[in-house]
Amino acid sequence: MFEFGVIPEFVFGVILLIAGAWSLVHGGSRIAEAFGIPPILVGLTIIAWGTSAPELIVSLAASMAGSPDLMLGNIVGSNLVNIGLILTTAALLMRPPVESRLWKFDIPLLLLATFMFSIFCYTGKEIKAWEGALMMLVFAGYTYRIISNAFEKSETHDRLKGYPYWHDVLYIVAGGIGLFFGGEFVVESSIKIATKMGISEAMIGLTIVAIGTSLPELATTLVAAYRRETGIAIGNVVGSNMFNLLAIAGPIAVISPVTVTPGSIKFLPGMILITVLLPIVIFKTDKLQRSRSVILLVAYVGTIAALIKGL
């Protein structure tokens, strides 16, 4: 049996996640509007990185505690959740647009990051420091390209005259803080519950922790749907997955090589499969179709079922 106090902790974390997501989307979308920056670029950067904070904190903590299965399971599981559950939710609620820039840059780079991460895991017993540095370099190039593109596409609006920048920056900062602590409360309480129920570390990382740390992305998607900020949804997921692979695993490997266990290797095929399915599902369509998104959901459920059976 687990203490009753765990339940209020979980509920409070969920409330913080929802409030943080609303604040982040509100501030980010207003800044994008003011500067004439496409919402997808905001989703790929500020919002994606803000909602990935729980993954970063949990992965760092797992690495410092010497729990590589928990860390890698969190990264891989979060990417599975983002595509399989969150994009499906976005498709059902608002059919987010598929921007042309996704094909030109973001989707190819996401595939590259996925295969790079997987190869580094498969080809040795650890992700080495130089491999982590290479992932960080790719992420730095990706960030530079997005920011440069945002400035190129921005337009001067009359609204910029006397525009209260600090208001919306404060919304973004407050949203990030809410998401960070909300994710922490949800993950910690989920781990307590799972541990009391005798669930293994690998399964905790792949399911409970992965879903818990992906709640900010889900909350952001739901709030974006409510506010009709459809351009943020896909950008948030793609940017978050890129962040998970390159900006979490990379720096941690540079600090200390990440041990890759046989249990961790089992996670990779499912992540590769669902990431490859993403461009197939959005091929030759201007919006993410509800019927096609079911493919991602089925792939996610099937992958998790197969992994749980094999753990």
- Looking at residue 2, its pLDDT comes to 47
Does the residue 158 lie in any domain? no
Structural domain including 52 reads: 6-152+164-310
For residue 258, the cross-strand partners are: 127
**Per the domain annotation, does 159 fall within a domain?**
no
- Residue 73 sits in a domain whose CATH number is 1.20.1420.30
Q: Residue 84 is encoded by which pair of tokens?
A: 């399989």
206 in any annotated domain: yes
Whether 168 is covered by a domain: the verdict is yes
Q: Token pair 């990051």 is at which residue?
A: 113
Q: Is residue 157 part of a domain?
A: no
Output the pLDDT for position 114.
Answer: 95
Q: What is the pLDDT of residue 1?
A: 42
Count structural domains, the chain: 1
Is residue 233 scored above 80 in pLDDT?
A: no
Looking at the domain assignment, is residue 1 inside a domain? Answer: no
Strand partners, 287: 97
Query: How many other C-beta atoms are found inside a 10 Å radius of the C-beta of residue 252?
Result: 23
Is 29 exposed, middle or buried, given 0-12, 13-18 or 19+ CB atoms closer than 10 A? buried
Strand partners, 126: 259
Asked whether 277 and 296 are in contact (CB, 8 A), the reply is yes
Compare 136 and 221 and report the one with higher pLDDT. 136
> In the chain, which ranges are E strands?
126-127, 258-259
Range 79-100 average pLDDT: 84
How does the average pLDDT of the chain come out, rounded?
A: 79
Q: What's residue 55's pLDDT? A: 74
pLDDT digits (tens, 9 = 90+) for 21-62: 778 777 877 777 777 776 667 766 667 777 677 777 777 777
The pLDDT value recorded for residue 151 is 64
d(CA 304, CA 268): 11
Q: What is the pLDDT of residue 160?
A: 53
Can you tell me whether residue 259 is helix, strand or coil?
strand
3-class DSSP state of 306: helix
Q: What is the mean pLDDT of residues 79-95?
A: 86
Q: So what's the pLDDT on residue 132?
A: 94
- Give residue 133's pLDDT: 95
281 inside domain = yes
Average pLDDT of span 287-295: 85
* pLDDT of 277: 94
